[in-house]
Amino acid sequence: MIVMDKEAVFRNLMNGIININSGETLNATKKVIELGIDPLEAIEKGLSAGTKIIGEKFQKLEVFLPELIMATDIFNEAMKILKPEIDAKKITQVKKGKIIIGTVHGDIHDIGKDIVAMLLEVDSYEVHNLGENIPTSAFIDEAQKIGADFIGLSSLLTSTMPTQKDLIDALIEKGIRDKYIVIVGGGPATSEWADEIGADGYAETAADAVTLVNKLLKN
Ligand code: B12
């Protein structure tokens, strides 16, 4: 019975985003809290799944930019409701490592990057989320300032992907490449791309990003 309810809530979250229906999305989001459903699962299987589908519709010219922006606003409203639940899961124990994360210069897509940041925080990392449209120099300055272990670069546009390489080249130029573990992600990135630019790892989803960071930390 509860399984049925959970699946129905995920479906409503997804359809709410696809249909740009704020009421449907926010009602389903409140249900997540009421039913004690894992908010991270709700984000992945409901809100993110809907965002992916509306992105495909955008590509096929079935929806246009204003609709995409409205869908994003609804996503963010839903996140405001879920955030306190997620924060409550963060364990205040010794942090495993320090991570700088941000979306590269020229790119303002931050939804996926924020989910990665949240999951890493829940997994006991100290995360410094710099935001979006972040210049290469700002990533490096902040990494040096806080003594980061990891630098995570998000890029959703094919035109901004080369900026991920710029950061690695800049680290090499400064003679500090070995000080940081650099991971990349976002729509067009792949593990082949990560290898090509000399990054230390790539993950397709936020959950995979946590597994990747834990694995790299051990090595
Ligand atoms: C929402 C959205 C927007 C929103 C962004 C709002 C925001 N605050 O983020 C708005 C409407 C503003 C927008 C604008 C634009 N967008 Co847009 N957008 C999208 C859309 C639909 C969804 C992106 C998203 O949030 N997905 C959901 C999240 C959860 O998934 P995700 O981002 O992939 O993140 C996951 C993983 O990639 C990974 N991950 C992400 N970051 C990182 C980082 C690390 C280190 C790791 C390990 C993993 C990781 O984990 C995340 C969680 O699982 C995509 C379509 C798509 N299918 O991706 C287009 C898309 C990315 N946009 C696109 C375009 C073209 C644009 C615009 C240029 C449109 C325009 N004509 O103005 C502008 C660009 C503005 C700019 N300079 O950045 C294209 C890009 C095409 C390309 N190949 O370059 C896409 C692919 C749409 C399309 N099919 O054409 N967009």
Binding site membership of 128 for ligand 1 (Cβ less than 6 Å):
no
Instruction: Output the residue whose Cα is nearest ligand 1's atom 25.
Output: 111
Binding site membership of 68 for ligand 1 (Cβ less than 6 Å):
yes
Q: Which of 9, 17, 209 is nearest to 120 (CA)?
A: 209
Region 99-103: mean pLDDT is 98
pLDDT one-digit tens code per residue, 114-139: 889 988 888 889 999 999 999 999 99
Alpha-carbon gap, residue 219 to 205, rounded angstroms? 21
Q: Which of 101, 178, 161 is nearest to 134 (CA)?
A: 101
pLDDT one-digit tens code per residue, 39-89: 989 999 999 999 989 989 988 999 998 998 999 899 999 999 998 988 887
